Amino acid sequence: MKKIIVFASGSGTNAENIIKYFAKTKIAKVVSVFTNNAAAKVIERAKNHQIPTEIFSKSELLERNLLQKIQEIDPDLIVLAGFLLKFPDHIIEKYPNKIINIHPALLPNYGGKGMYGMHIHRAIVNNKEKETGISIHYVNEHYDEGGIIFQKNVALTDEDTPETVAEKIHELEQKYFPEIISRLLEE
């Protein structure tokens, strides 16, 4: 069975969805959740599914000791699910094309430093976009610039607010993120 590590910084709804999805398969299992936020709800979600958590600081992420903990697990895939820090080059180099991220917009639009969550949804509404979506991509040394694996769009209306855009994006994330992870692990 293949091993997945999930990195998350916040509520953990995508992380929990991935945990539940793979608990029902023989393809892979989420073996650990890593977070940089000791108050993140993802910790409670992981514990509810008996998934070990690793809490670390930004400086620990940049140091080699976190890489050592990842290497001890020997994951087949590292999944960033609402992880807000820039992933360090030394981990990316060790796991080429084995680290993926989900972004709540159609990259390359609305990507880059500071573009996450409601910041993106507000910008999309303010720019009167007619559609948005999700992008699942490989992680490289630049924010949101790794090769795109999958995109799914959703139509927007003039009545959409940042909150309704967030709901539409969340539905896409919940439906497609585990499926794309599964497909990648089966290749």
The average confidence (pLDDT) of the chain is 95
Give the span between the Cα atoms of 138 and 79, in whole angstroms. Answer: 9
Average pLDDT (135-146) is 94
Q: Is there a contact between 40 and 46 (Cβ–Cβ < 8 Å)? A: no
Known binding-site residue numbers: 12-14, 101
pLDDT exceeds cutoff 90 at 64? no
| Residues catalogued as catalytic | 103
Q: For the domain that residue 83 is a member of, what is the CATH number? A: 3.40.50.170
Phi, psi of 8 (to 5 degrees): -145, 155
Q: Which tokens belong to 150? A: 């999958």
Over residues 10-31, the mean pLDDT reads 96
Residues 78 and 7: their CA atoms lie apart, in Å, by 7
State yes or no: pLDDT of 94 exceeds 90: yes
Binding-site residue positions for (6R)-10-formyltetrahydrofolate = 101
Start-end of H helices in the chain: 13-23, 41-48, 58-62, 64-73, 89-94, 117-126, 162-186
Task: Give the domain range for residue 61.
Answer: 2-186
Residue-level pLDDT at 187: 80
Mean pLDDT over residues 166-179, rounded?
97
Nearest to 180 by CA among 18, 49, 51: 18
Instruction: Look at the pTM and tell me if it is higher than 0.85.
Output: yes
In this predicted structure, what is the pLDDT of residue 143? 87
* Structural domains counted in the chain: 1
